[in-house]
Structure 1
């Protein structure tokens, strides 16, 4: 039976008082997928062994007890989710606006960072930001949380993961969206949607070391385990591929559709790109040292984020317009089933 959990006690920083006595406990057993449902303000937990939603964590009616009495918190449109390196915690960016309608110009709301226990779904901390943020991600060593402020004069903020104290503020480009890390754990990549660039930050030195021009309105530089970062340019309808060693764009792939997400599959050496607003994922293969479209497969409406299992054989695709996650057989490029989740699912992370 599917469980719905309401998290009724919040913390603002780790020092606030947390109790969950009124809430039923859940035990989240790996392998599981955590899916952020932006409009429902929930997290769907999918059992990867059965590909069924086993529990739903509600964030909508959360409150905080900060020793001055409980008060309601306004949590709206959680967006992307990441797992800590040790697998014990989840980090969530909460921009406070519906980014499914576009990423630029959303300056009026405040953003938040939520840290959640990956074993029982309890919220460990909540940090308010002055502007919307696209995501919040653990540093490769798990000691920091990195996020961006989506404003004209963009910033990357770095927090201590234990105390959520602000450690660093780094100026980047205009309207920064996703911040991600390279596989060699040397660099952070910030996609600046308003300036059509990607800022490369040295993780240890906490500074911008290079700014790379990409296509129009980049949203994220997504990790490829092949030594590349794959940048989805929404308005440019293209993918800019960055070589991590050279820190330069080595190839631009024209799509003729708006990308929702791009992911590299190591098993088949394929690049997968979801078609935002449509019900397809397109896959590309290497021919004559360039990426060529090989085929497509159907998912659900407004296909978006893509996550692969650790053996690369199964993929999960969130469908923002279909209240579902499509389970895909990678080798055959066929849909196995759709798993029902909440409204406007976007971010997804797998815990094995």
Structure 2
């Protein structure tokens, strides 16, 4: 993979991975073609990744009805919008591919093969860096990004099982949870070297930087708490008790609260970012995992890994108001009319 270049071509955001830069006409020949899927009203499509089925299910956010389910690369786990919001990137881990979807309709735009084990992906806040965590291969791939092209800068081994990531506000450091070695790693993005590692708890998963850039919150999946980390001193300053299997985070969008899903407990805790305390919980059975919040802040959609379902939660009453059948082991979830990630 050394020296490979990834080229993004707006507005359709086509992408090619090769050993050298190639002419634009060569880009079009590099992509697989997909049939367009039916779509809901613009912005109302919910994208759900069914990891074990190797499929994506599209749901209508208003009617809760299934629009379409279509096959993709094996084990699609995580997803995120591109910086220009023209595409939604889906990482198919054991499928060794990145898929590009229209973020409003969920229709496939293109795919890139031979991206090895992209489990979790992320852009740094300044959009200079793009990282793909290879959980099963114990490494991360760091790409430089110039707003159009991605170029592999470093393939960095990390023991073991690099999972989720977060960044400092200045994009100097990336923080990677290591599920296999029960650690948190800090990677210097300028040098592409590990700056430090620290023990964090059994099977750390989700990691979230507080809006003030002061603390990291780490979901300790092998236990029942969120570790509050002063990343400057590399110390755990607090443990917020949540529920068994504390896993992933989603901000409410009010710059004050963040949700954490507890896979084993079948619940979601509401954390106050000012007090660093749990201020409530929501019962969502069946391995709640990834969450998405509507732009108006009224509802949250949650994937239930063990029940092949998605639940819709009324955030006013903190009750599940709807469950929708999807594929096996639903993981990542996204819709375009989403709340801020602060």
Bucket of the pairwise TM-score, normalised by the shorter protein: 0.7 to 0.9
Question: C-alpha distance in 2, partners of 1:319/1:93?
Answer: 19
Q: Which residue of 1 aligns with 2:192?
A: 206
Instruction: List alignment gaps of at least 5 residues for structure 2.
Output: 1-13, 18-26, 338-342
Change in 2 beyond 3 A, CA 1:239/1:122? same
Alignment pair present for 1:91 and 2:76:
no
Alignment pair present for 1:323 and 2:308:
yes
Q: How does 1:129-278 map to 2 (within 5 A)?
A: 129-130=115-116, 132-142=117-127, 144-151=129-136, 153-158=138-143, 162=148, 165-183=151-169, 185-227=171-213, 228-243=215-230, 248-255=235-242, 257-265=244-252, 267=254, 269-278=256-265
Question: What TM-score do you get using the length of structure 1 for normalisation?
Answer: 0.73
**C-alpha offsets along residues 217-268 of structure 1, whole Å, 9 cap, x if unaligned?**
1122134435343211212332112346666433222445112323443549
Question: What TM-score do you get using the length of structure 2 for normalisation?
Answer: 0.75
Q: Which residue of 2 aligns with 1:283?
A: 270
Alignment pair present for 1:38 and 2:51:
yes
**C-alpha offsets along residues 38-75 of structure 1, whole Å, 9 cap, x if unaligned?**
12322233444x15245335234xxxxxxxxxxxxxx2
CA drift at 1:191 = 0.8
Could you tell me whether the CA contact under 8 Å between 1:94 and 1:135 is conserved in 2? Answer: no
Question: C-alpha distance in 1, partners of 2:131/2:324?
Answer: 31
Question: C-alpha distance in 1, partners of 2:309/2:202?
Answer: 29
Q: How many residues align?
A: 312
Q: Which residue of 1 aligns with 2:318?
A: 333
Change in 2 beyond 3 A, CA 1:242/1:127? farther
Change in 2 beyond 3 A, CA 1:243/1:86? farther
- Please give the root-mean-square deviation of Cα atoms over the aligned residues, in Å: 3.4
Question: C-alpha distance in 2, partners of 1:86/1:251?
Answer: 37
